[in-house]
Amino acid sequence: MKTSLFETFKLTNQLTGKAKRQRKIIKIIGTTNNSNQRTKVEISRKISVENKQSWKNSYSGVYNDIEKILLPQKIIEEGGRIPLKKGPRLLQKEGTGYYKLTKIGSLLLFCIEDNKMKIDFTEFTDQQDLGEKLNLLYAISPTLCFLLLEKYISTMCISEKNIIPITLESISKVEEFSLKCNLKFIKSILSYSRDNQRKILQILSYISSKH
């Protein structure tokens, strides 16, 4: 993975402009149902409205992110073509592409959207048991699950490693991650059966043992 999603300024630790733009592109593609709104031009228009500038000023950055980063890294893919009403006949016939998220893109969107996107973790790992445990963790404590996955995804992206498939081994390599079990989480886990408690404790104990 070679993206700028987690790129920050060293002095302020704030996301760079490129990181913010790539996040916006992924969010627009992943949360917009209308395919007409998921072309390079329309994505540029949406971003320009937020930045209060002409869409033409946003287009070059959007174009480069899509063509040089998001498509090659298989974060997005072309979902189809929309016919053009203006321009050369060949271009009108070929149309312009609109985009959709891949499985990798969906996992990144989960991270970007700060726990607003529900996903089935069994689709992102070859270890069926792990996927079920992550789903259970999400059901018990969405915030804790998000913090774990956000740290995992950011670590893998920064180190330019693949984020899929998720494995126990790859999650356990996440550094500087503290599982802070607050009172709400403790009460939640105690309300579940002993079998479900055991499953959650297994994955947390495994990660803890690696540090």
CATH at 29 = 1.10.10
Report the run of H or E that residue 127 belongs to, with start and end: none
3-state secondary structure 133-181: HHHHHHHHCHHHHHHHHHHHHHHHHHCCCCCCCCCHHHHHCCCCCCCCC
Unique residue bearing structure tokens 């992206």: 157
Global pTM value: 0.80
Q: What average pLDDT does range 86-110 have in this prediction?
A: 84
Of the three residues 72, 106, 140, the one that is the final residue of a domain is 106
Lowest-confidence pick of 39-43, 48-52, 121-125, 156-160: 48-52
pLDDT in tens, 133-185: 999 989 888 887 888 888 899 888 888 889 999 998 888 877 655 555 555 67
User: Around Cβ 209, how many Cβ atoms within 10 Å?
Assistant: 8
Beta bridge partners of 99: 78
- What pLDDT score does 73 carry? 94
- What pLDDT score does 124 carry? 95
Asked whether the predicted pLDDT for residue 106 surpasses 80, the reply is: yes
Task: Return the top range by mean pLDDT from 61-75, 103-117, 160-174.
Answer: 61-75
Percent of the chain whose predicted confidence (pLDDT) is above 90: 44
Closest CA to 70 of 41, 129, 29: 29
Residues 137, 161, single domain; the answer is yes
Asked whether the predicted pLDDT for residue 80 surpasses 60, the reply is: yes
Domain that holds residue 39: 17-106
d(CA 16, CA 75): 19
Residue 11 lies in a domain: no
User: Around Cβ 123, how many Cβ atoms within 10 Å?
Assistant: 13
Residues 23, 43, single domain; the answer is yes
Of the three residues 57, 77, 106, the one that is the final residue of a domain is 106
Number of folded domains that form the chain:
2
